[in-house]
Every structure is written in C-alpha cells, then in structure tokens.
Structure 1
Amino acid sequence: MMVVVVLMVAMVVAMAVDATSFITVSNASKEAFKTATLLKTLNVNSLITGEAGVGKKSLAKYILPDAPVLDASNFDELLTTLESSTQIIITNLQDSPNLKTIVDNIKLNDIRVIATSNNHLNNDSLDELFSIKFDIPPLSQRQEDVEALVEVFSKEASLLFGVQNEFNLENFIPDLTKNSNSLKRQVMISYLLQDIQDVELMDIMENYLSSKLGSNSDYRNHLYLYEVPLIRAGLYKFKSQLKLSDKLGLNRNTLRKKIADNKDYL
C-alpha cells in the first residue's frame, strides 16, 4: 500500500502549497510582472484580479514581501490584523462578508494594501481605495507559461519523490481547469505514475474500491474503471476500432457497444 500513501501525500502537497513563484514567459505575464515591479516602488493600493491559480498571490507577495497575508473570508481575524499593521495582503476579496467595513478600517489606519479577487468587483468604495487595478489572464491564454510551469513542477516532483526520471510529456494534455493548481496536481500524479508497476496499480484500485463497494450491482457499476482506460489506450495506439477489437479478442459489435456504454468517459 506504500504507493497509495505516497500518492495521497503528493496530492495534499500539490493542493496545500503555493502553486509557484510567478512565471514570466508569455507577454501577458511579463506585463503583469512589470506592473507589480512598479508597485514595489509606489506607496499605493492595488487590486489584482484573475481566476484562482493564475498567480495573484505570488505577485502580491512579490510587491509586499513582509506583509501578513489574510483571507477576506476570515473577517474577525482580518479586522484585528488591520488594527496592528501598516501593510497587508488580502486574498479572495470577493468572499468578504462586509467590504465597506474593511475599506473603512484600511482608510482609518492608513494601511498599504494589495488585494486579490477571483472576479471583478463593482464597488464605489473599492474604486476609490485601489489606485491601480490589473488583471492576470488564465493559463489557457498563456501557453508559454504552461510549458515553463510543467518544467518547474516536474523538478519539484523529482525532489519530492527522490527520483531523477525525466518527466514523460508524451500524451500529456495539461489540465488548466484550475490553472496552476490543477496543473501542478496533474504533473505530480503523472510523474509518480509514469513508472508504476501493475501490483502498485492494483493497490491503488483496491484502495479506491474498498470505500465504494456495498451494493448488489458493484461489478457492473465499476466496470468502466477497467474498460475505459483499456479502450482509450487501445484507440490511441491502434487508431482503429477494427484493429482494437482484434487485439482485445472482442467482436467488433461488442467493442462498439462498450464504447457506447462508456461514451461519457471517452
């Protein structure tokens, strides 16, 4: 079961730590970094917007490296920190239960603030507070940054797992659904699994299924876990249902039915 434990640790690490230092390869990320560099020299408040995982917090910490970082949803803790700080980073501003109170306290205590938000906020108080606002595009619009991030994450995976294998990019399609958060998780898991043995793979499946079994139709309900990867791999390798049916020893109509039954996963 060792591989299961390692896999779970990798997933937790990938989700718990900051995704990365801000990557500046694409033109969009270079422009965002230029703005952040300018803000380091100016005593003004700024709001950084963009989807989760695009690097907002990394840039905010680059601008104010010594400032405490508070999530806007932790309202009471945030108000307490505002009473004793001269500068602060506020993340997830869109989750604040009371934006007006936060803005009033920032002004009252004359605090330098860099804030982040997952979306644009239409609020007159915020417009007055933040002299500079800028947006970071999602990774789907910054493909050059994706390649650099994959390299960074694969090096982290090599150190984490204590192996020197080169990360295999064949058939690797970056998961950008949550930007660098989903990409890092994917690279970590892919790196760990690229040399997995059949016994280790069966251990993972056993661990997964042990919490799922209990009904009278478990075999049918979980058959897709075995059939879908086999069909996917076969179609990719042989490029033909006819060839795949021959290699699997299945009637072509049987294979077609299995493909139809699993259409949601293929």
Structure 2
Amino acid sequence: MVVTNFISLSNASKEAFKTATLLKTLNVNSLITGEDGVGKKSLASYILPNANVVDASDFDASITALNSVSQIIITNLHTSPNLNVLLDSIHSNDVRVIATSKNYLEHEILDDLFSVKFSIPSLSERPEDVRALIDIFSQEASKLFGVETEFNMLNFVPDVSENSASLKRQVMINYLLQDIKDTELMVIIENYLSDKLGSNSDYRNFLYLYEVPLIKVGLSKFKSQLKLSDKLGLNRNTLRKKIADNKKYL
C-alpha cells in the first residue's frame, strides 16, 4: 500500500490526486504547479515514491542526479539558476521526471518535456482539506508537547495565507497557548520585549499588547461596548478611545 501525506477531501484536491494516481501508471514526465505549502512535493512523492528528490535551486546536484538516476523529483523548478541547461539535461537524459513549480514557466521546450501539467489550488479554495490538516497538526502538537487536551476550535480562524506552513504554525502556537499559565505568558512577553525597549514612550508604545487581546475577547464575549466598559470598570468614552487607538489591530 502506498502512503501519501497529500490531503484529498475537497473536490479540487480529489481531482489532483486522481491525476497523480493515473501518472503512477504512465511513464511520462509531469509538472505540478501551485503555491508553496499546497502539497506539490507530497503528491510528487506519491507518484514516484522511490525517486530521489532534488531542489532545482541546487543546480549542480540537479545535473548530477539527472546523469545518474532513472527517475527523479525536481522541486521548485522556477528557482533554477540556469533553467535552459536544466531543461536541456532533462531532454537529453532518459529519466522520468516529476517536477514542481510555484507557477507555470514559459519555455519553448517545456511543453514537450512535460506531457502532463496540472495545478493544485491554494488551501483557501479547499476548506475540507483545511479541516483535515488542522486535525493532523493538532495531533502532532499533542505528541510534541506531551499534552492530550483537545484542540480548542472556539474563535479559531484558520490562517492559510501561506497555506500549510502558516496553518501548521498557527495550530502549534494555539495548541501551546490554550493551557498556558499566566507566569508562562509573562515570560513570553518579557522575551518579546527584551530587545525592543529603549525609547522614552515605551509604556504607551507597547500597551496595545495587553489592551488589544482584552478588548477583542471582551467584545466577542459581551457583544457590546456598553457591557464591556462595565465589566472592565472603564468609562464608555475611555473604552471607545482605546478601541480607536488600536483600530489597526481590531
């Protein structure tokens, strides 16, 4: 049984996986395009599970590998320092190549080299896959931190700005912080501030680190500025001013 880390629950990723499964049975070269963190390398490894993997940015390693193997995965084709020579080497060697690239490359022989080309959409277009990845990353976090607490999805808005990279970072941080002690949180803030203090107005400059989370959580919980000002023991005008002062974070 071939195992793959590629998540294929959304319609878009199912189509990409279907194409990859077909490619496992064909002796043709293929180019997989898409943003960083969408699963290109995982899918390439599913197609050629026993192939060496080289990054196109390492030109010497790529050329050496093309002269010594029968099949290869070349990642980040768009970063090659000498694409012409690399593509010529692929063309002249009898090597099965699955390549990945952040975007489609305009080149006169590229279409001839890669008879199958397909793209993997970003995670912003694959909500079903995002949910599955959150489960996977939270399980990894549980093992890493030695904590069995269930991941708290309350008010969690997935950050897929960098696809799986930003999502994994976000899940790890949230998992770590959901049971954090106040003393541990203060140490984190101390470390953050340690090399940033130095001006004559630092108290005012960094007060937002406390005020913004308090206001955001308060507004989410109490649903109105009036109730929040009462709970915080602040005058309504004072709260409004603080909201206005921190509007770029709220």
Are 1:114 and 2:98 an aligned pair? Answer: yes
**RMSD of aligned residue pairs (Cα, Å):** 1.2
Counterpart of 2:165 in structure 1 is 181
Counterpart of 1:43 in structure 2 is 27
Are 1:264 and 2:244 an aligned pair? Answer: no
Per-residue CA distance 1:61-88 (angstroms, 9 max, x = gap): 1111111111111112222222222211
- Equivalent residue for 1:72, pick from 31, 56, 72: 56
Counterpart of 2:193 in structure 1 is 209
- How do 1:130-145 residues align onto structure 2 when only pairs under 5 Å count? 130-145=114-129
Counterpart of 1:57 in structure 2 is 41
Counterpart of 1:225 in structure 2 is 209
Secondary structure of the 2:109 match is: helix
Per-residue CA distance 1:98-124 (angstroms, 9 max, x = gap): 211001111222111111111122222
- The one-letter amino acid paired with 1:204 is I
Counterpart of 1:248 in structure 2 is 232
Counterpart of 1:101 in structure 2 is 85
Counterpart of 1:190 in structure 2 is 174
Secondary structure of the 2:150 match is: coil
Alpha-carbon separation, structure 1, partners of 2:94 and 2:209: 57
- Equivalent residue for 1:128, pick from 112, 132, 135: 112
- The one-letter amino acid paired with 2:9 is V
Post-superposition shift, 1:218?
Answer: 1.5
Contact residue 50 and residue 138 of structure 1 kept, 8 A: yes
TM score, norm. by length of structure 1: 0.90
Alpha-carbon separation, structure 2, partners of 1:163 and 1:225: 27
Counterpart of 1:7 in structure 2 is none
- The one-letter amino acid paired with 2:78 is Q
Higher relative contact order (CA 8 A, sep 6+): 1
Per-residue CA distance 1:126-149 (angstroms, 9 max, x = gap): 111100001111111111111111
- How do 1:11-30 residues align onto structure 2 when only pairs under 5 Å count? 21-30=5-14
Alpha-carbon separation, structure 1, partners of 2:237 and 2:76: 52
Are 1:238 and 2:243 an aligned pair? Answer: no
- Equivalent residue for 2:147, pick from 157, 160, 163: 163
Percent identical among aligned pairs is 74
Q: Which 5+ residue runs of structure 1 have no aligned equivalent?
A: 1-19
Q: Which 5+ residue runs of structure 2 have no aligned equivalent?
A: none
- Equivalent residue for 1:199, pick from 177, 183, 187: 183
Secondary structure of the 2:62 match is: helix
- The one-letter amino acid paired with 1:174 is P
Alpha-carbon separation, structure 2, partners of 1:22 and 1:172: 23
Shift >4 Å, 4+ stretches: none
Secondary structure of the 1:124 match is: coil
